[in-house]
Chains A and B, each alone.
Chain A
Amino acid sequence: MNLDFSIALKYLPTLANAAVYTVFLTVTSMFIGTTGGFFLALGRTSRFVWLSGLIWVYVWIFRGTPMLLHLFFIYYAAPLFGLTLDAIPAAIIAMSLSACAYTCEIIRSGLQAVHHGQVEAARAVGMTYPKVIRKIVLPQALRIIIPPYMSNFISHTKNSSLASVITVPEVMLTAQMIYSSTYRAIEILTAAGCIYLLLTSCLTGIQIWLERITSYETRGLSSRRRRQLGLEVI
């Protein structure tokens, strides 16, 4: 077997260009998915049974069926409703719908991990619901959800390769196109693998950083905060 990695090097710019699509798809759909998932999680933990039930059904469907199916579905079903979607918007919609379902559950786990007594103590000093969420629940929930959230982010990055089936020119589709014309599958797939590994390593790095900045007790108060509170600066 002779391997020629200069081929991989030659096509690296093309793959890097495709990686931009991968990053764009993943980050955009995760952004939408996180925003949506946050509100879904609030609804899911609310006292309105109908709302909570409705969201449960949403999660049940979108977490229980493959994202590959969502991609095809959105891409092929949209024209039936008089909409013609390009591959990229279709991919973003399908990936966001899936991300919403997963992040809803992750954020819900964080919200529910904050003891109800904490919330009551906040309400007892006169905080309104949005303030309780912002000042008491979220800061604590955030820390709890970082590991599962980032794991999901990494899965989602890899799953973006599924968008290749609806012709989004992301890393996987581009790799396939290159090796079907060069017959250098191993070299090109190795390069594609390295790109994914690089992207997911960045996410791992972000996770480590997030975990560090949210470990408040070990870090203590910043000197700026100390000054603000009129405490001795150490």
Chain B
Amino acid sequence: MSSAMIEVSDLEKTFGETRALDGVSLRVDQGEVVCVIGPSGSGKSTLLRCINFLEEPSHGNVRVNGRRIGFIEERGRVRRMSGRQLAAMRTEIGMVFQLFYLWPHMTALENVILGPASVKGLPIREAAAQGQQLMRKVGLVDKMAAFPEQLSGGQRQRVAIARALAMQPKVMLFDEPTSALDPELVGEVLQVMEQVASEGMTMMVATHEMGFARRVAHRVMFMDHGRLVEVGTPHEIFERPREERTKRFLNKILA
């Protein structure tokens, strides 16, 4: 059995009265691509945000590459990580957001190399050389000196993917990476993601792109009301879903 890269156990997250996550447990193995599907508000985003501790779980815990995120466990005692420890751990977890969140005061290439240069302390020339490689990989060699506002949504998201990859993470989290894009720009982003997946990256992708999930995912997780309703191979989920809620959701979305 391959080793677990992400382990989530009994995760709960409440925002005031709302239960965004209601007891989620799962495991993602190294090199595995998992797509998380489900209606809006089902908790997909919150789940991903808890995994890199942008959201603090109300209950339960998350382990990434064997270490619990946000907390240190020592001799049976649990204490909070310092900001520095948390930041160091986050360098292993790449995150791509629905709304890109590129830094508008920097060019595309500078967005990509800021992490390696300022967090890892790589010399700027070295970081830039690596950054250029990544820009080539996402097909944006001619946009390196462009500012985010000069780029299309699809181009922005590809820069955002390159920015996350630049930290050489062990896991990549994609939070609905194509949901804010014009339909004709979705393909170019999915293509880059597919390439990343083919290189063996461990990925968790919250998405509404069922074609991508079917083609690329090793496993698909269906969430509803903050719970994991059904987990299986794409074939199992899409061809013969067992749960009534999964069937209803797929009927609606694939109709």
Contacts and interface: CB of A to CB of B under 8 A. Distances in A.
Given A120-B97, A228-B125, A231-B144, A126 B104 contact: no
Interface stretch (A7-15, A70-78, A135-143, A165-173): A135-143
Contact of A128 (B84, B144, B160, B166): B84
B114 interface: yes
B252 to A, nearest CB: 29
B124 A115 contact: no
Interface string B107-126: 10110011100110000110
B119 A221 contact: no
Given A229-B109, A230-B125, A128 B83 contact: yes
A228 B117 CA distance: 13
B153 to A, nearest CB: 15
A124 B118 CA distance: 13
Given A125-B90, A140-B105, A217 B150 contact: yes
A125 B132 contact: no
A220 B109 CA distance: 13
A199 B231 CA distance: 70
Contacts of A122: 103
B190 to A, nearest CB: 21
Interface in A109-134: 115, 117-118, 120-129, 131
Given A226-B145, A228-B124, A124 B110 contact: no
A120 B128 contact: no
Given A123-B87, A126-B90, A131-B119, A117 B97 contact: yes
Interface string B139-173: 00000110101100000000010011011000000
A120 B105 contact: no
B91 interface: yes
Contacts of B115: 125-127
A131 B86 CA distance: 14
B104 A140 contact: yes
Contacts of B147: 216-217
Contacts of A126: 87-91, 115, 119, 167
B110 A127 contact: no
B52 interface: yes
Contacts of B160: 121
B124 A125 contact: no
B26 interface: no
Nearest to A116: B101
A120 B125 contact: no
Interface centre among A216, A229, A230, A231 (most CB of B within 10 A): A229
A122 B102 CA distance: 9
Contacts of A140: 103-105
A125 B163 contact: yes
A121 B128 contact: no
B118 A131 contact: yes
A123 to B, nearest CB: 7
Contacts of B109: 229, 231
A118 B90 contact: no
A121 B119 CA distance: 13
B186 interface: no
B93 interface: yes
Interface of B: 52, 54, 83-84, 87-91, 93-95, 97, 99, 101-107, 109-110, 113-115, 118-119, 124-125, 128-129, 131-132, 144-145, 147, 149-150, 160, 163-164, 166-167
Q: Report, nearest first, the 3 A-B pairs whose CB atoms are least far apart.
A: A126-B91, A125-B115, A121-B101
27 contacts: A117-B97, A118-B103, A121-B97, A121-B101, A123-B87, A124-B52, A124-B95, A125-B119, A126-B90, A126-B91, A126-B119, A127-B115, A127-B118, A127-B119, A128-B83, A128-B87, A129-B83, A131-B118, A131-B119, A140-B103, A216-B106, A217-B147, A217-B149, A220-B145, A229-B124, A230-B125, A231-B109
Given A121-B97, A124-B90, 17 more contacts: A126-B88, A126-B89, A126-B91, A126-B119, A127-B118, A128-B84, A131-B119, A140-B103, A216-B105, A216-B106, A221-B145, A228-B124, A228-B125, A229-B128, A230-B129, A231-B144, A231-B145
